[in-house]
Amino acid sequence: MTINQLSHVAMEMGVILLSNGAETYRVEESMHRICIALGAKEAEIFVVPTTIIISVTLEGELPLTRTRRIHSRKIDLTKVSEINHLSRQICFEPTNYKDLLAEIRRIDTIPSYPYYLHVLAFAFISQMFTLFFGGSLMDSCVGFLIGIGIKLQMDIMGRFEANVFFTNIVGGLIVSTVALTAAGLGLSTNMDTIIIGSIMTLVPGLAITNSIRDIIAGDYLSGLTKGIEALLIGAAIAAGVAVPLSLLRPFWGG
């Protein structure tokens, strides 16, 4: 395998890992493992949540450096799991460039769960958490509707590449407006429970987990970045919920 092909394969795998929600240290470790397994003498990899830099040296050749900027991130842990598995497999049985690239393509195009299931999952999360925090059956049905609304709103704003904080502020707005309206119409008596249950759909669970795990691994830069992201999303949700609560309450009396 030439130095060009080697760094290409490692970079492709790194990009799939990072853009689908792997921790920073996992991306660095996997890429390093692949490079060494495929015959590199040295491999230096630097990863932050938005960029991958890799520098590979082969015996008797000049070093090669590649950089890739990651623009969009989503969460698909199936791909992370598969690439992680592949990177370990390469260590035991080295494959050629073509097969490896085909395998990476296959993993990259694994379909995620169908869209309607994602919408239902959002609705279900919000319903379950409303019950979890002590809501009645009626409250949970309002939560179910809010979950569907939030999913659709997030996807529409995601399509226009709106920024994450704005998306979460609008999410919070929808949650508390619908909950207030339900309380105002007399459909529900505990508006608080519906709001708390529904904002759980917006909680950045993976960002929290990954930031803690990155800090343990010594990647303070990525860990702190993700930790701050999680904190700001929390603040954005609270701000979004607060606006209708303070503006509409006098009129609805909820």
Partner 1 sequence: MNYITPCLYAFGASLAFAIVFNIPRNKLLLAALGGMLGQLVYVLFQLVISNDVLLYLLATIAISLYAEVLARLTKSPTTIYLAVALIPLVPGGGIYYTMLYFINGEIDLGISTGIHTLLISGALAVGIIMVSSTVNLVRKVMLKGSSKIGKKLNHGKKT
Which of 7/193 has CB closer to partner 1?
Answer: 193
Compose the 201-240 pattern: x for residues touching partner 1 by CB under 8 A, - for all others: --x-xx-xxx-xx-xx-----------------x--xxx-
Phi (first) and psi of residue 175, to 5 degrees: -55, -55
Q: Is 199 in the site for partner 1 (CB under 8 A)?
A: yes
Rounded least distance, CB 231 to partner 1, Å? 9
CA dist 46 and 120 (Å) reads 38
Compose the 6-25 pattern: x for residues touching partner 1 by CB under 8 A, - for all others: ---------------xxx--
DSSP 60-103: TS--EEEEEE-------HHHHHHHHHHHHHHHHS---HHHHHHH
The alpha helices in 133-219, defined as continuous H runs, are 137-159, 164-184, 191-199, 205-217
CA dist 76 and 146 (Å) reads 24
Considering only residues 3, 36, 101, 121, which one is a binding residue for partner 1 as defined by CB under 8 A? Answer: 121
Q: How does 117-148 read in b/e, with b if 16+ C-beta sit within 10 Å? A: eebbebbebbbbbbeebebeeebbbbbbbbbe
Q: Which parts of 71-100 interact with partner 1 (CB under 8 A)? A: 75-81, 84-85, 88
Which of 54/196 has CB closer to partner 1?
Answer: 196
Considering only residues 26, 31, 167, 173, which one is a binding residue for partner 1 as defined by CB under 8 A? Answer: 26
Angle made by CA atoms 173, 161, 111, in degrees to the nearest 5: 105
Region of 45-53, 63-71, 124-132, 160-168 interacting with partner 1 (CB under 8 A): 124-132
Closest CA to 231 of 210, 254, 203, 250: 203
CB 71 within 8 Å of CB 17: no
Which of 21/63 has CB closer to partner 1?
Answer: 21
Q: Which parts of 131-170 interact with partner 1 (CB under 8 A)? A: 131-133
Considering only residues 19, 200, 225, 254, which one is a binding residue for partner 1 as defined by CB under 8 A? Answer: 200
* CA dihedral sign of residues 117, 119, 123, 129: positive
Rounded least distance, CB 246 to partner 1, Å? 5
Considering only residues 4, 65, 67, 246, which one is a binding residue for partner 1 as defined by CB under 8 A? Answer: 246
State how far the alpha carbon of 78 is from the alpha carbons of 49, 74, 156, 227, in Å. 19, 12, 24, 23
Positions that interact with partner 1 (CB under 8 A)? 21-23, 26, 75-81, 84-85, 88, 112-113, 117-118, 120-122, 124-125, 128-129, 131-133, 192, 195-197, 199-200, 203, 205-206, 208-210, 212-213, 215-216, 234, 237-239, 241-242, 245-246
